[in-house]
């Protein structure tokens, strides 16, 4: 007993030392990795050691130290990438830093900034490409999206301003040097044509030179608030006049007659080199659509040479560009299976011959008596060999006076065997074929078949023909615009069933070939597999060989019967999968559909296109609005300008005076005039809420400064709403440069001031902070005393205290996790993540995307709302036309809700169009179990489809 105790203590000490040694070894490896600069690997080792030995404080300390060091290294790398404008790598490094150390808030902020910069840069590059392709409208929209992510993006601002400047009036490609860009009003009755041009010249500063064939006729014209180009189009169109712009200030006017057109019209020659479209087909296309003066086909270069006016050349260019598109291609993966099964069973007594022959030999001879009058040789076949017949191998059944009788004896075999055989034939061709072209595939052998013929002159002629035997697949695919493939499929499977030789001297081989054919037309999606089966050939045969009468005896008859059962089955299956290599190319909308002018005047512009007003683009946010109003702000901003000596008086006094001030501040519900922005106007953002009296966002100077009459735009003012009474304040001093009636109109309710309704419009566009009670519907509170007016700040001492408000819910950040770029026709996942959540019960939101570039494949719920094992109800509906995915999730458990960070949903998209595709959110509604709504900050992201 005493000897066992020391041994046990020794073993226990050994185990403890071995555990410490293992932990110390892993710790040493982690230290070595850290010294080598591999902090990520060292961090993993430290985490393993600290989790395995939580009682060792040194391991924990080194883990925290390595965590901080690794996060800072990733953060510095991200800053370096950010300086180099490598936003993808910067975003990855910042996210790694924040994932390693969640307390490093700067990494989270920098990751969000890198994401916005990357999205802005993607949209900017897309806009630059649109501008290069002469698509100004699409370029302006792309630059606007870039400024939505980064309002201070200098390149996007300059590009957008450049495009606005480029919208100056042009005529026949020349920028006109107009004296004034103000609208022109022309009112004439029976006035001379040249007099009208003279007045137009005085207003615009453009010189007009008339051809001697221009008739000075009397015309009547009434045109109000028109541009110079509109006036020119109306006058020249009504009088059938042509114009030739010499320079920016001189235009020749001539009548549109064939002679004058030849005199003034300049012809342009261009050669169009075609890629896919055949030149012979292209010339028929152009001649059908246009009346081209001269056109030539160069078959060697597959090109067209056209000489005509620039307008006709431009229309021909768009026609050819819309039709000269690459052919679509598809890869057909075909699998042909031929399964064969053969079962054969033989049982019973089998005789070599089911017959007995008798013969007699005469006395003194061993030869049989003849059964015919001619010479004959008799043999017997046994086992495939020929055995001569003699008395020695026959049965002698009688002998009489020298005559002997002989009988043949059949051989007997008892069969009890069974054979099974299975076979499989597989052909797996992959065929790449163009759209609407035929593809053929043959797998098998060429079997020779000989035929003989005897010509009339004598002799024998032998011919050999080869026949294909095996698997033949014929396919003709048609690729549709929705990436579906319609396939006209033909399948033939043949095999040799038997061969037979006919003839002796000149033998001919006769081959029996079995064939199975299949012809069908099917429609499949890209990557979808269709299996065609049921081509089954089944044959069951049963044969019996039995002895007469004995084989018919019940029960015993089977002993005298040989039964052969044979079952053969062959099944043919075909599996085909189309994979689109290149889809059907559809040209852009401005190429596939465009205005082509009149019947006798082809042009790529719409007639009287100067009268078609393009909608103004939405304003761009330059920078977040400041929290303090500018000097001389209108009456709506007056509560923020209250004296600092009584900060608590304004909130209490403003609601009491609001009913009296509402008719004055919002009584004008007609129209208001604001200037058109020369460049993108800044979008106001919610101002921060400083205590105690938060001020609304300032009104930009562009909305308060007066504009010329020609630049004014009528916009309906918002109707008065009793729920949001406007606060009343003392009338501020007028700002320099403001209209005289701007301040007086706000107090008297006059409708003539241009800036009277502007504060109302801005206050509606800028949501007030939660604490700004005067600007929003105030909470129920005791009415102030009659003496509590805005003019008496001291009334705050008698104001009743307002009830305390509940603590505001935390703001939820809604972000997307997705790859930065994908390839065309690639499927990828997008995770919808929520951060900063506390007690979330229900989540409803819309995922918006570009339906021309992305397509929703599937959607599924995330794990965030499944905390504590709670079941979740998940509903989703995709509107593929609008590009919206409606998602609704709710926890079934009756607990407080889910908290923290996690994934709400996962959406799988398919890239169907090239370019930058934005993915964002709309109509977000996140609530607790009590129905309280969370404030949500949704973030938008962009994926590049290459």
- DSSP string for 669-727: -SEEEEEPPSSPPPPP-PPP--SSSPPPPPPPHHHHS---GGGEEEEEPPPP-TTSPPP
Q: Yes or no: say if 144 and 113 are a contact pair by the CB < 8 Å rule.
A: no
- H or E stretch covering 870: none
* Pairwise CA distance, residues 723 & 128, whole Å: 46
Q: Which tokens hold the place of 716?
A: 């309906």
Name the segment(s) of the chain with CATH classification 1.25.40: 4-103
- CATH assignment of 812-945, among 2.60.40.680, 3.40.50.300, 3.40.50.150, 3.20.20.300: 2.60.40.680
Q: What is the pLDDT of residue 505?
A: 61
- Ranges of residues in the chain with a pLDDT under 70 are 1-24, 165-175, 373-389, 457-459, 503-507, 609, 612-807
Which pTM value belongs to this model?
Answer: 0.45
Q: Yes or no: say if 422 and 376 are a contact pair by the CB < 8 Å rule.
A: no
Q: Yes or no: say if 793 and 647 are a contact pair by the CB < 8 Å rule.
A: no
Q: What is the pLDDT of residue 14?
A: 52
Q: Which residues pair with 468 in a beta bridge?
A: 446
CATH architecture assigned to 266-326+586-611: 2-Layer Sandwich (3.30)
Q: What is the pLDDT of residue 248?
A: 83
Q: What is the pLDDT of residue 396?
A: 80
| Residue with token string 């005791």 | 782
Q: What is the pLDDT of residue 612?
A: 66
Q: Yes or no: say if 587 and 484 are a contact pair by the CB < 8 Å rule.
A: no
Q: What is the pLDDT of residue 370?
A: 74
Q: What is the pLDDT of residue 908?
A: 92
* Pairwise CA distance, residues 900 & 157, whole Å: 39
Q: What is the pLDDT of residue 729?
A: 40
End-to-end CA distance of the chain: 80
Name the segment(s) of the chain with CATH classification 3.30.1370.120: 266-326+586-611
811-855 pLDDT, tens digit per residue, is: 888 889 888 889 888 899 999 999 888 888 889 999 999 888 899
* Pairwise CA distance, residues 87 & 820, whole Å: 10
Assigned CATH topology for domain 174-263: Phage tail protein beta-alpha-beta fold (3.55.50)
Q: Smallest Cα–Cα separation from 251: which of 217, 200, 216? A: 200
Rg of the Cα atoms in the chain: 48
Judging by DSSP bridges, how do beta strands 821-822 and 941-945 pair with one another?
Answer: parallel
Q: What is the pLDDT of residue 177?
A: 76
Q: What is the pLDDT of residue 867?
A: 84
Domain 4-103 has CATH 1.25.40: yes
* Pairwise CA distance, residues 491 & 517, whole Å: 6
688-739 pLDDT, tens digit per residue, is: 433 343 433 333 333 333 333 433 333 333 344 444 444 444 444 443 333 3
Give the alpha-carbon dihedral of 6, 9, 13, 16, to 10 degrees. 160
Q: Yes or no: say if 601 and 311 are a contact pair by the CB < 8 Å rule.
A: yes
Give the alpha-carbon dihedral of 624, 630, 634, 640, to 10 degrees. 80
């Amino acid at each position: 007993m005493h000897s066992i105790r020391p041994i046990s203590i020794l073993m226990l000490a050994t185990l403890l030392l071995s555990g410490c040694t293992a932990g110390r070894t892993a710790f040493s490896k982690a230290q070595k990795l850290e010294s080598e600069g591999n902090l990520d690997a060292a961090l993993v080792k430290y985490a393993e050691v600290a989790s395995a030995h939580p009682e060792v404080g040194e391991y924990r300390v080194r883990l925290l130290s390595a965590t901080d060091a690794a996060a800072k290294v990733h953060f510095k790398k991200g800053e370096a990438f950010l300086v180099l404008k490598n936003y993808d790598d910067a975003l990855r490094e910042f996210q790694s830093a924040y994932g390693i150390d969640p307390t490093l808030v700067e990494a989270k902020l920098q990751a969000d900034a890198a994401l916005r910069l990357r999205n802005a840069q993607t949209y900017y590059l897309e806009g630059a490409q649109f501008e290069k392709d002469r698509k100004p409208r699409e370029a302006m929209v792309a630059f606007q999206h870039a400024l939505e992510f980064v309002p201070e993006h200098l390149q996007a601002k300059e590009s957008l301003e450049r495009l606005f400047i480029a919208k100056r009036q042009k005529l026949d490609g020349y920028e006109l040097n107009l004296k004034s860009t103000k609208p022109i009003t022309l009112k004439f009755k029976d006035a001379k044509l040249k007099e009208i041009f003279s007045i137009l010249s005085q207003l615009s500063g453009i010189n007009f030179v008339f051809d001697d064939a221009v008739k000075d006729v009397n015309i009547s014209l009434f045109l109000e608030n028109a541009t110079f180009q509109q006036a020119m189009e109306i006058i020249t169109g009504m009088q059938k006049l042509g114009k030739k712009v010499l320079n920016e200030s001189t235009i020749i006017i001539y009548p549109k007659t064939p002679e004058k057109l030849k005199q003034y019209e300049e012809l342009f020659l261009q050669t169009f080199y075609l890629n896919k479209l055949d030149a012979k087909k292209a010339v028929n296309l152009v001649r059908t659509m246009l009346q081209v003066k001269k056109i030539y086909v160069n078959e060697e270069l597959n090109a067209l040479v056209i000489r005509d006016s620039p307008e006709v050349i431009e229309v021909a260019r768009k026609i050819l560009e819309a039709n000269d598109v690459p052919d679509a291609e598809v890869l057909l993966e075909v699998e042909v299976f031929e399964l064969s099964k053969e079962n054969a069973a033989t049982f019973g007594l089998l005789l070599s011959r089911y017959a007995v022959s008798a013969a007699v030999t005469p006395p003194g001879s061993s030869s049989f008596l003849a059964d015919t009058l001619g010479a004959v040789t008799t043999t017997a076949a046994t086992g495939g060999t020929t055995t001569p017949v003699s008395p020695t191998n026959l049965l002698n059944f009688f002998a009489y006076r020298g005559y002997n009788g002989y009988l043949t004896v059949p051989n007997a075999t008892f069969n009890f065997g069974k054979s099974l055989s299975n076979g499989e034939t597989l052909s797996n061709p992959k065929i790449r074929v163009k759209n609407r072209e035929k593809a053929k595939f043959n797998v098998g052998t060429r079997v020779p078949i000989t035929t003989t013929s005897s010509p009339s002159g004598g002799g024998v002629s032998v011919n050999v023909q080869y026949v294909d035997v095996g698997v033949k697949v014929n396919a003709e695919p048609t690729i549709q615009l929705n990436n579906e493939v319609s396939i006209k499929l033909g399948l033939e499977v043949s095999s040799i069933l038997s061969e037979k030789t006919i003839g002796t001297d000149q033998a001919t081989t006769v081959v029996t070939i079995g064939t199975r054919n299949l012809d069908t037309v099917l429609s499949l999606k890209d990557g979808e597999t269709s299996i065609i089966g049921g081509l089954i050939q089944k044959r069951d045969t049963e044969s019996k060989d039995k002895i007469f009468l004995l084989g018919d005896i019940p029960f015993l008859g089977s002993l005298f019967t040989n039964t052969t059962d044979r079952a053969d089955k062959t099944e043919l299956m075909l599996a085909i999968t189309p994979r689109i290599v290149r889809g059907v190319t559809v040209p852009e909308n401005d190429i596939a559909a465009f205005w082509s002018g009149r019947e006798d005047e082809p042009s790529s512009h719409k007639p009287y296109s100067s009268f078609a007003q393009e909608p103004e683009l939405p304003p761009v946010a330059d920078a977040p609005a400041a929290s303090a109003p500018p000097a001389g702000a209108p009456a709506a901003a007056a509560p923020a300008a209250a004296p600092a000596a009584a900060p608590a008086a304004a909130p209490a006094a403003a609601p009491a005076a609001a009913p009296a001030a509402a008719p004055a501040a919002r009584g004008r519900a007609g129209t208001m005039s604001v200037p058109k922005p020369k460049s993108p106007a800044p979008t106001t953002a919610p101002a921060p809420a400083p205590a105690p009296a938060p001020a609304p966002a300032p009104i930009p100077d562009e909305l308060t400064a007066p504009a010329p009459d020609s630049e004014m735009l009528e916009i309906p003012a918002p109707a008065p709403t009793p729920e949001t009474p406007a606060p009343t304040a003392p009338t501020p001093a007028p700002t320099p440069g403001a209209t005289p009636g701007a301040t007086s109109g706000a107090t008297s309710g006059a409708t003539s001031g241009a800036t009277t309704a502007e504060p109302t419009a801005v206050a509606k566009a800028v949501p007030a902070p939660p604490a700004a009670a005067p600007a929003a519907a105030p909470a129920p509170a005791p009415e102030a005393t009659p003496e509590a007016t805005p003019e008496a700040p001291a009334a705050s001492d008698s104001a009743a205290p307002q009830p305390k408000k509940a603590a505001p819910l935390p703001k939820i950040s809604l972000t997307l996790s997705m790859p930065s770029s994908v390839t065309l026709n690639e499927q990828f996942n997008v995770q919808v993540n929520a951060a900063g959540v506390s007690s979330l019960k229900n989540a409803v939101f819309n995922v918006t995307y570009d339906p021309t570039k992305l397509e929703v494949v599937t959607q599924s719920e995330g794990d965030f709302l499944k905390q504590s094992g709670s079941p979740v109800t998940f509903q989703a509906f995709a509107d593929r036309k609008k590009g919206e995915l409606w998602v609704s999730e709710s926890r079934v458990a009756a607990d407080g809700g889910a908290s923290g960070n996690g994934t709400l949903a996962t959406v799988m998209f398919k890239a169907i169009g090239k370019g930058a595709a934005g993915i964002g959110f709309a109509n977000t509604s996140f609530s607790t179990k009590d129905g309280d709504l969370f404030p949500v900050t949704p973030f938008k992201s962009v994926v590049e489809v290459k």
